[in-house]
Amino acid sequence: MRFTKSAPRDNATLVDDNIYDDVMVSKQQDVSSVADEIYDDVMVSKQQDNVSSFANNSCTEDQLSKQKADLQQPGLDRKSKISPEHAVLLVLMALLVIAVFALSITVFYLMKNERCQTLKEDLESLKMIALDETCPKCEAGWERHRGSSYFFSNSTSSWTDSRHSCTDLGSDLVKIDSREEQVFLIGRVRDLMKDNQDKFWIGLTDSKEEGKWLWMDGSALDQSLSFWNQTQPDNKSPAHSAEAEADCVRMGKKEKKGGSDDLKSWFDTSCKRPQKSICEKTAKLSSSV
């Protein structure tokens, strides 16, 4: 076996090795120091973040608690933001709007109906004017007015005989069914009357049932279109005679007081009392000139 002896190192080599070891130790110490500093900084930063997060969480919890407490206070409940007074006011306003709307509709229909009635009256007037123009002269002895012809008799007779005379002329005792017609007739009768008892029979009677006044066509008297004189009907004959009951009606009033009293000229009397009469029929064209 052969042993070899390592060559001895020189002094320069040993010095370099020592220097190298010192440098390496110094570097390791520096690295360790830097690592410790970095670790300390990271830990401090984490602690600060934790403190900030805790503070923020505490603040948020405080705010939520405060909001919850505020919501639980009376008057701030979300389900009852509107006070009772405001609720009542809103209901009243809604009712007012509904009432105004209903009133507007009612007024509209009333005005519409009134307008329709006016148009009907205007149309009727135009018809009468057209008929007047096509019939400038009616049958001899007859007076035309508003689509009807009237005959004012000069002779006197009982109510029944007067009606027979009218039927012989193709007519009947007059039926008064409008205020305008009453105005026309009372004006003509007043001109023809010789005295206050010189009245004219009209086609109104309660001979079938006392107090139930009927026209010749069987229709009942419209009380809104009745023109009884004061205290009439009284079911009495003139001068309180012992004649039959006053079941027939005559009209006429010589004096003229003015106003609506002039139209109140109906009197009930005995059907047997001799009077003049008024016949009425639908107007016809006359062939005479």
Question: What pLDDT is stored for residue 113 in this prediction?
Answer: 79
Three-state secondary structure call for residue 237: coil
* Contacting residues for 172 by C-beta, under 8 A, at least 6 apart: 163, 166, 203, 216, 217, 279, 280, 281
Name the stretches of the chain with pLDDT < 50.
1-9, 14-15, 23, 31, 51, 54-55, 59, 75-79, 133-136, 240, 287-289
Question: What pLDDT is stored for residue 136 in this prediction?
Answer: 46
Residue 125's DSSP bridge partners are none
Question: What pLDDT is stored for residue 245 in this prediction?
Answer: 82
CA–CA distance, 196 with 257 (Å, rounded to integer): 14
Which residue in the block uniquely carries the two structure tokens 């001979």? 207
Question: What pLDDT is stored for residue 199 in this prediction?
Answer: 97
Question: What pLDDT is stored for residue 235 in this prediction?
Answer: 86
Question: What pLDDT is stored for residue 109 in this prediction?
Answer: 84
- DSSP for 188-217? HHHHH-SSTT--EEEEEE-SSSTT--EETT
CATH of segment(s) 141-282: 3.10.100.10
Question: What pLDDT is stored for residue 174 in this prediction?
Answer: 98
Cβ-count burial 41-71 (b if 16+ within 10 Å, e if not): eeeeeeeeeeeeeeeeeeeeeeeeeeeeeee
Question: What pLDDT is stored for residue 280 in this prediction?
Answer: 97
Q: Give Cα 287 distance to the centre of its chain.
A: 54
Q: What is the pLDDT of residues 136-179, one digit of tens each?
A: 456 789 999 989 999 999 999 999 999 999 999 999 999 999 99
